[in-house]
């Protein structure tokens, strides 16, 4: 993690998203016609490699990174990865607007010691100037982010094992915020002056974020995900986990699957979203959201969008960050569109090639 104000021109960065079940790689190029997907690959992780966002088998994850790099046939050697919000402390602090770069860096470090409950030797800190503060015209708001050095070192090691150099370590919520720009025209008023909930449902973790006027105002993580549906399929139909996962995606399950297994799971998803909305409303000045965007592997479940709309009375859609992109010939169009909802974090990371906003 570099300190924030060093505005370097980066070479192409590969977005590397390490989730509970897989490693995904995405490379974008940008031009007058917009963005283009240059490389894309996914590698499944062994079941024991990750546990609730903790790296349990660093070698296996590093090997998976190596595989996605080779399979994607990319030439870039620089990666951007993200840490989960639960692994980061963020705080908005105020600083004198007249500080020069060096003064700002030293003052932020002093301030960080007051706000972070760990010894400075154990954390990596970074910051971003957000702009003038509403508290006083002489101050600027600064977003301070800190993560345990151990976590950062592990991510750097994983990328190194995969043959990459870690250039950027981001925060998942900000990667999603950056990727939101790609789907803004899929929501009302392109997200302007709107309150939009983005619900990213992974295998075992759901991250719930709310953007108001395209800026993140709330994030929450909970242990819930598509793995619960896979495990229920496995239990009910006597399949292995791999067989159940495949059947979930490709179909071919007995007739009672829809009513006995899929419908109750969809109701459980709605319940999780409803609960997250209640937490959000009770801890903020907001009383409603205008739209819900579903992301993550579970977002594509047949009928889930309709179920969310029907039960919560809020318009809902599935994220597709590639809707306005061109795709390089070497990338499988059906594969990337099928995986699109689960690639929001990957997209936000790959976009760091073009946005040097240093959110961490």
Please compute the mean of the pLDDT values over residues 137-144 and round it to a whole number: 87
pLDDT tens digit string along 258-268? Answer: 999 999 999 99
End-to-end CA distance of the chain: 6
Say what the pLDDT of residue 10 is: 55
Average pLDDT over residues 145-169: 93
Task: Determine, yes or no, domain membership for 137.
Answer: yes
Residue 297 lies in a domain: no
For position 126, which CATH number holds? 3.30.1490.300
| Over residues 90-99, mean pLDDT | 86
Quick check: 322 pLDDT over 90? yes
39: nearest Cα among 65, 62, 14, 64? 14
Per-residue CA distances from 213 to 189, 196, 290, 293, 318 (Å):
10, 8, 11, 15, 19
What is the percent of the chain where pLDDT is above 70?
A: 96
**pLDDT bracket for residue 130 (50, 70, 90):** confident
pLDDT tier, 18 (very low <50, low <70, confident <90, very high otherwise): very high
Is 311 inside any structural domain? no
Tokens 């997200």 identify what position?
191
Q: Is residue 61 part of a domain?
A: no
Question: pLDDT tier at 5 (50, 70, 90 boundaries)?
Answer: very low
pLDDT for 14: 97
- Tokens 């909930």 belong to 197
Query: Does residue 321 form part of some domain?
Result: no
Domain that holds residue 99: 89-149
Summary mean pLDDT of the chain: 90
Locate the DSSP E strands across the chain. 13-18, 22-31, 34-44, 50-51, 54-55, 78-83, 88-96, 123-132, 139-148, 165-171, 195-201, 205-212, 215-223, 291-295, 316-318, 326-327
DSSP collapsed to 3 states, 148-182: EHHHHHHHHHHHHHCCCEEEEEEEHHHHHHHHHHH
Structurally, how many domains does the chain consist of? Answer: 1
Bridge partners, 223 (sequence order): 205
Nearest-angstrom CA–CA distance, 12 and 77: 8
The string of pLDDT tens digits covering residues 289-309 is: 999 999 999 999 999 999 999
Least confident of 8-17, 41-50, 340-349: 8-17
Q: What is the mean pLDDT of residues 159-163?
A: 96
Given a cut of 60, whether residue 357 has pLDDT beyond it is no
What is the pLDDT, as a whole number, of residue 6? Answer: 39
Return phi, psi of residue 54, to 5°. -100, 140
pLDDT at 303: 94
58 with 157: CB under 8 angstroms? yes
* Closest to 340 in 3D by CA, of 281, 302, 294, 307: 294
Q: Which two tokens stand for residue 81?
A: 């990865």
Residue 181 has pLDDT above 50, yes or no: yes
Confidence of residue 356 (pLDDT cuts 50, 70, 90): low
- Is residue 18 one of the residues assigned to a domain? no
pLDDT at 70: 96
Q: At what angle do helices 241-250 and 227-237 cross, to 10 degrees?
A: 110
Whether residue 65 lies inside any domain: the answer is: no
User: What average pLDDT does range 128-152 have in this prediction?
Assistant: 87
pLDDT computed for residue 360 by the predictor: 37
Q: What is the pLDDT of residue 305?
A: 96
pLDDT at 48: 85
pLDDT value at position 112?
86
Number of helices (H), then strands (E), belonging to the chain: the values are 11, 16
Any idea which residue has 């996962």 for tokens? 245
In the chain, how long is the greatest CA-to-CA distance? 68
What is the model's pLDDT at position 86? 80
Q: Can you give the pTM of this predicted structure?
A: 0.88
Residue 347's CB is within 10 A of a number of other CB atoms, namely 27
Cα–Cα distances in Å, from 353 out to 11, 17, 293, 336, 358? 7, 15, 25, 20, 11
Secondary structure of 55-85 as H, E, C letters = ECCHHHHHHHHHHHHHHHCCCCCEEEEEECH
């Amino acid at each position: 993690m570099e300190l924030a104000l060093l505005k370097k021109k980066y070479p192409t960065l590969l977005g590397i998203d390490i989730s509970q079940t897989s490693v995904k790689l995405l490379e974008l190029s940008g031009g007058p016609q917009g963005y283009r997907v240059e490389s894309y690959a996914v590698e499944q992780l062994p079941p024991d490699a990750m546990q609730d966002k903790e790296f349990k088998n660093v070698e296996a994850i590093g090997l998976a990174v190596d595989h996605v790099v080779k399979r994607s046939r990319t030439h870039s050697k620089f990666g951007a990865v993200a840490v989960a919000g639960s692994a980061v402390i963020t705080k908005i602090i105020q600083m004198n607007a007249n500080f020069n770069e060096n003064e700002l860096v030293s003052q932020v470090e002093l301030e960080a010691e007051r706000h972070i409950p760990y010894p400075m030797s154990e954390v990596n800190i970074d910051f971003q100037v957000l702009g003038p503060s509403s508290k006083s015209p002489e101050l600027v708001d600064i977003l301070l982010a800190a993560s345990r050095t151990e976590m950062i070192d592990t991510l750097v090691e994983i990328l190194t094992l995969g043959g990459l150099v870690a250039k950027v370590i981001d925060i998942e919520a900000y990667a999603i915020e950056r990727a939101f720009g790609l789907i803004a025209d899929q929501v009302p008023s392109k997200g302007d002056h709107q309150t939009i909930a983005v619900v990213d449902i992974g295998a075992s973790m759901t991250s719930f974020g709310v953007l108001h006027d395209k800026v993140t105002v709330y994030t929450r993580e909970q242990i819930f995900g598509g793995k619960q549906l896979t495990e229920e399929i496995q239990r009910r139909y006597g399949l292995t986990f791999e067989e159940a996962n495949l059947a979930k995606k490709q179909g071919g399950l007995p007739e009672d699957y829809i009513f006995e297994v899929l419908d109750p799971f969809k109701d459980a998803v709605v319940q999780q979203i409803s609960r997250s909305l209640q937490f959000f409303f009770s801890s903020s000045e907001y009383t409603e959201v205008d739209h819900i965007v579903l992301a993550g592997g579970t977002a594509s479940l047949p009928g889930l969008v309709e179920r969310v709309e029907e039960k919560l009375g809020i318009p809902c859609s599935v994220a597709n960050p590639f809707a306005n992109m061109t795709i390089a010939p070497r990338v499988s169009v059906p594969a990337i569109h099928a995986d699109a909802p689960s690639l929001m974090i990957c997209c936000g990371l790959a976009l760091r090639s073009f946005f040097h906003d240093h959110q961490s």
